[in-house]
Structure 1
C-alpha cells in the first residue's frame, strides 16, 4: 500500500518538512502524486485541523512521534498558507490519507 491514514478519531501530530522545494517526482506535481497514490480524485480541504481552505499543494510531512512511523516522508493535501510555514508542527484532521513521499518506492521505482 502506498499510503497511510491518520488516526480516525484524533488525527496525528505531523510536521511540515523544511527545504523540500527542490524535490521532484514523475507525477508532474506533488498533489498529483498524492491523488495517484491515495486513489483520491477530488481535492479535500487542508489536512491541518481547523483549516477549511481547499488543499492546493502536496506538502512533504512527517509524523513527530516514534510510534507513528517517525522519520518517513509523506505527501499530504495542504493549503498554500500552511505549506509556506516550514517546520510547522500541527494536528492533522482524522482519517486523512497520506501518500508515501519516497519516489523510489512509488513513481520513480
Structure 2
C-alpha cells in the first residue's frame, strides 16, 4: 500500500486552486513557458484534487468536497475537441468559462482555508 503525504497533497491542492483563482495573466505564470499552459493548470489541479479526494475525502465537509468537485466539473465540461478554443492562453485570460473556474476556485480556497495543512 502506498502512503500518501496529506500535507504535501493538501498544499499542492491549495497551490493549484490559487493558480486557477488568480487573473488569467497571472495564472499562466504558474505553468511552464512553452507548454500548453491551460492544460497544465487543469492537469495540476486534477492530480492534486484526485489524490486528496481519493485519500482524505473523509477530512472534508460536504461543502468543501462540493467546492473541489465544482472546479473539477467546470474544467471537465471544457474538455473535448469541440472546446479546443478554451485551451489557449487567450482563453485563460478572458473567456467567461475560465472566469467561472476562477470564481469556483476562489470559493474552494476559502472553504479549504478552514483546514490545517
TM-score, normalised relative to structure 1: 0.28
Q: Judging by fraction of residues, say which structure has more helix.
A: 2
Q: Give 1 or 2 for the bigger CA radius of gyration.
A: 2
TM-score where L is the length of structure 2: 0.27
More strand by share: 1
